[in-house]
Amino acid sequence: MSSRSPSAGTTYTCIGSRSTDESWTPSTGPHVRLADFGLRPTERFVYDYDFVDRWRHDILVEQILDVAPGRTYPCCTGGRRAGPPEDCGGPWAFMEQAQPYRVFSAMRRTAEIVGEILDGATDLGHHREELAVLRPWLVTEHFDHRSLNRALAHLSVAEGRAA
């Protein structure tokens, strides 16, 4: 299925892979190569990551590069903002939890805990679990493509061993 977007080329919504008659068919396995879609720069596709929580990603092909020898693929060349915490309940639940007043509240509570520790009124052990819950909300604006590429490289190696 495709639809025309006036400013960004063609948008494809698909699950599966392209068959020889150019129709979209269900994938026969968990791996679909992006190259199999035959997308060109300015074309987009929608990727559904989690059918239960309804995470939908709109992906734009900006450019297609030649494979660089010695480089691990897939790789991320850039991005914005951190991904949401795992199992946070989908986009609507994430947006509700990440409202600015909630992020500010997480920062304020973290500062209170650090203050108590520095004042000697408590130790880290008493607040470790609470800090672990607060941490994802303190880094929502940070995007670390190097960490993502390390994770992708690890995944690529693990999949290579399984193949």
pLDDT at residue number 158: 62
Task: State the CB neighbour count (10 A cutoff) for residue 156.
Answer: 14
Element (H, E) at 7: none
Contact predicate 81/141, CB 8 Å: yes
Write phi, then psi, for 102 (nearest 5 degrees): -75, -40
Per-residue pLDDT of the chain (163 residues; tens, 9 = 90+): 333 333 344 444 444 333 344 444 444 455 667 778 888 999 988 888 777 888 888 888 888 888 888 888 888 888 888 777 778 888 888 888 777 657 788 889 999 999 999 999 988 888 999 998 888 778 777 888 888 889 888 877 666 544 4
Contact predicate 94/49, CB 8 Å: no
pTM of the full predicted structure? 0.51
